Chains A and B, each alone.
Chain A
Amino acid sequence: MNKDFTCLFAGEAGYGVMSAGSTLAKAAGRNGLWAFVVNEYPSLIKGGLNTCLVRLAASPLQAHEESLDFFAGLSQEGLEQNYSRLKPGAALLVDTAIKVESSRLPSDVRVYLLPLIQKGSGDVAKIMSNSAMLGAFCAISGFPLELVETVLAGEFKPEVFAKNRELLRAAFELAAEQAVVASFPLPVGANPAQKMLINGNDAISMGAIQAGCKFAAGYPMTPGSSVLTYLADHGPQFGLVFKQAEDEIAAMNMLIGAGYAGVRAIGSTSGGGFALMVEALGFAGLAEVPVVMVNAQRGGPSTGQPTRTAQADLAFVINSSQGEFPRIVLAVGDVEECFVETFRAFNLAEKYQIPVIILTDKYLADSSVTHPFFNTNGLTIERGKLADETWLAANRPYKRYEFTDDGVSVRAVPGMAGGRHIATSYTHGEDGFYSSGNREYAATEPEITVKALDKLFAKEPHILAELPAVKLHGPETADLTLVAWGSTKGAALEAMELAKAAGLSVNLLQVLYMSPFPAAAVEAVLGKAKHTLLLEGNKTAQLGALIRMHTGIYIDDNYLKYDSRAFTPSLILEKIKEVLA
């Protein structure tokens, strides 16, 4: 494992600590390093405590770590909450207004008290405090100042940049007087391969655009909203229309309308919004309308914890809505999967005429990572059994819901000659007609009901055969098999590497597609496992329960983390050692 370097920028909302962090991460990323950036913020606009953690290393990172090599703080509260995370020998940079209790510092911590917050000139000065913080950071850590300048130059208008550079340099000089200027502990140098600093929600949005998505609708709910913001902002140049709906119920129904009319459509929300959508989710399921939904999980039932992370919606999402109908639920684990699997989600939605739900969470949605440019070669759009007018002319009468072996029937969309039909939320027969009440159908109702449900579920084996439902990371066999899903993937993978370095034999089963549940694939891996450890960001071991239900396999040990923060590699390593001891 590479040596890594973690810096935490902390300050009240409004002081730009997040942009300080992303500026450093971008500068590092453009110059051969790799970053993982985690933003933590309470649900308020001004005040409170925002932190931005930037972890840097010489090779790709997939998670953050708790302990800090550098703390740069603009608020007393920020320091109070983070004393315990400082590593021995760390550097501590704080504004002069902040009181540092030396007794709470670990050994050899160097403290730099500098006037970082510009006094007296209102919000503008406040926002620029982050430039001062970055300038001093460079002097103290030895991170090249001109790299930071280049990033800022690209982000601001010339006048604004000039002001920030002035401040950046002034703080650098001031800090250089106090600091024994260190050389930055990682090899900073130019790297020709283009990389992005990207978060999960941006990657999902790009996947949607690449897939030809032309319609998005939603109602803002953190942390799902940023997909909508991205598409509202960047979508129009790709011919995409975003509609802010009056509520989530409207949003989901608009998506269904668009999907029925033949347009690829996406929505994004968090648990509470998703809860409002579930009646319509069942409608999409029964009417076989393709639609893609993102549920970015946050903490808690109800309003819960808007800006904190959790993996606790799994059981709800796979079971949401009344009655029985298949849906595809996909739990992306990293930025690459956010992009590629979102692209695939649109193909799956149309090929199987089924709602697809992308399950992500605040940690993945909101954390940025240095990532190579996405490779779009080989991403092919597949629309499945979509009719055209020639087919419709040759196949009369058209039956929208014709019973077929794979449960999928040819889909016509409004405007196509010869494809007129009814798509309906009522249980229906092959022509889409209501199975009950009407004389024409009354006698055959029980039969139609069974056939209609069998038709929907006939899709499942075909979906399962096509999906990359699970991924086994690491060696084929190991003394301990970790089982994880979603954003826990990153920390689990790194923990696996750490364990290997410590001479332990560990592999990781990642369940990527949760519904239909890939029982055979999971069983194949777990059947060979010697000892198993489940890692989940919830209290009730929801994936564990699914595995038990579908395979009868009990996971040996659980590590459940439901404190509203994500797993870290070192925490998982500790648990691995405990289990294998």
Chain B
Amino acid sequence: MSASDVNLQYVPTWCPGCGNFGIFNSLKKAFATLQLDLEQTVLVNGIGCSSKIGQYVNCYRIETLHGRSLPVATGVKLANHSLTVIAEGGDGDGMGLGMGHFVHTARRNLDISYFIHNNQVYGLTKGQTSPTSEPGMLTKFTPPPLGNVERPVNIVDMAISLGASFVARSYTGDMNHLADMMAQAISHRGFAVLDILQPCVSFNAINTYAWYQQRVRRIAETHDPENRDQARALAGLWGDEIPVGVFLREERPTFADSLAQLKDGPLASRPLEGADISGLMEELA
């Protein structure tokens, strides 16, 4: 399989120059690198410019509601844990409406990868503040003089503290790095969070390609991703230097590993017929 096999015939509708193109290309590349079986891969997305990616990729996809990709992905994974399940969505999608699901999905450590297209603004609804917007950012909903007065959510820091077992960050302006992070996240057995820095050329005048180009730094080889404290310290950095790379990698049993019902194979391949409920009835006799 090559990257182009992942393409559908539809032409993406992102604005020219949008960071989502880079994410799309990197995703195709990661799929090709891993030689993923597209019939066995499910992409679950939310709603937003970012989430449109599912419309262009030729695997199984379910395009859910705004903010709800993770619980749907959870249902898919529990129904058929032999599938490769990838959830994608925006920072508004995932850190706004979807925040509760993010918190609890991370605690669960299901074998799902979660790619957050983090453009620090709402794109599809035309430029409102997002939970990751910079303080002072001027948007339709946070006009001058004050702009945004809330602290941004640090996705990487939060994912680490919540218990995600793989946490990484990448930048859409460095497609090779991004494709590599995606491939690592998908290969990881457990909940893998990938924070993807993605310029929105239409509504985010702060976090531009040039802005990122000056700040994005690959994490040094000396960093030990199995060291939580180190990962945390690194996650706290945001400003003149923005670290990208793998912050944390931890091997531990997944939620599905703990379920005896899944030992005989996926729920989806079990026969429906043949439940003998006579024991249940006798219990009530």
A residues apposed to B, CB below 8 Å: 30, 194-198, 202, 206, 209-212, 214-215, 217, 234, 236, 238-241, 243, 245-247, 249-251, 253-265, 279-280, 283, 287, 373-374, 376, 381, 383, 413-426, 433-434, 437-440
Q: When chains A and B are docked, how far (Å) is the Cα of A194 from the Cα of B278?
A: 11
Interface membership of B264, Cβ < 8 A: yes
7 A-B pairs with least C-beta separation = A257-B75, A212-B272, A261-B79, A253-B71, A196-B284, A254-B75, A263-B79
**Beta-carbon contact of A246 and B103 below 8 Å:** yes
**Beta-carbon contact of B62 and A433 below 8 Å:** no
Interface membership of B91, Cβ < 8 A: no
**Beta-carbon contact of A257 and B71 below 8 Å:** yes
**Beta-carbon contact of A414 and B80 below 8 Å:** yes
Q: How far is the CB of A37 from chain B (nearest CB, A)?
A: 12
Interface membership of B100, Cβ < 8 A: yes
**Beta-carbon contact of A415 and B268 below 8 Å:** yes
19 A-B residue pairs with Cβ-Cβ distance under 8 Å, sorted by A, are A212-B271, A214-B272, A215-B75, A236-B260, A239-B270, A250-B70, A254-B75, A256-B64, A261-B42, A264-B272, A279-B65, A283-B68, A381-B272, A414-B60, A416-B39, A420-B58, A423-B61, A439-B13, A440-B10
| Count of chain B residues with a beta carbon within 8 Å of a chain A beta carbon | 58
Q: When chains A and B are docked, how far (Å) is the Cα of A467 from the Cα of B268?
A: 27
Interface membership of B54, Cβ < 8 A: yes
B residues apposed to A, CB below 8 Å: 9-11, 13, 38-42, 44, 47, 54-55, 58-65, 68, 70-80, 82-83, 100-101, 103-104, 259-262, 264, 267-268, 270-273, 275, 277-278, 280-282, 284-285
**Beta-carbon contact of B55 and A258 below 8 Å:** no
Known contacts A215-B267, A415-B83: does B44 contact A257 (CB below 8 Å)?
yes
**Beta-carbon contact of B79 and A424 below 8 Å:** no
Q: How far is the CB of B177 from chain A (nearest CB, A)?
A: 28
Q: Which residues of B contact A383 (CB under 8 A)?
A: 272
Q: Which residues of A contact B272 (CB under 8 A)?
A: 211-212, 214, 264, 381, 383
**Beta-carbon contact of A194 and B65 below 8 Å:** no
**Beta-carbon contact of A209 and B277 below 8 Å:** yes
**Beta-carbon contact of B275 and A212 below 8 Å:** yes
Q: How far is the CB of A393 from chain B (nearest CB, A)?
A: 12
**Beta-carbon contact of A263 and B10 below 8 Å:** no
Q: When chains A and B are docked, how far (Å) is the Cα of A237 from the Cα of B150?
A: 49
Q: When chains A and B are docked, how far (Å) is the Cα of A196 from the Cα of B68?
A: 41
Q: How far is the CB of A268 from chain B (nearest CB, A)?
A: 16
Q: How far is the CB of B76 from chain A (nearest CB, A)?
A: 4
Interface-central residue, B13, B73, B79, B271, by most chain A CB under 10 Å: B79
Q: Which residues of B contact A239 (CB under 8 A)?
A: 261, 264, 267, 270
Known contacts A212-B273, A241-B267, A425-B47: does B104 contact A246 (CB below 8 Å)?
yes
**Beta-carbon contact of A253 and B268 below 8 Å:** no
Q: Which residues of B contact A243 (CB under 8 A)?
A: 74, 78
Q: Which residues of A contact B282 (CB under 8 A)?
A: 194
Q: Which residues of A contact B64 (CB under 8 A)?
A: 253, 256, 283, 425
Known contacts A373-B281, A437-B13: does B72 contact A253 (CB below 8 Å)?
yes
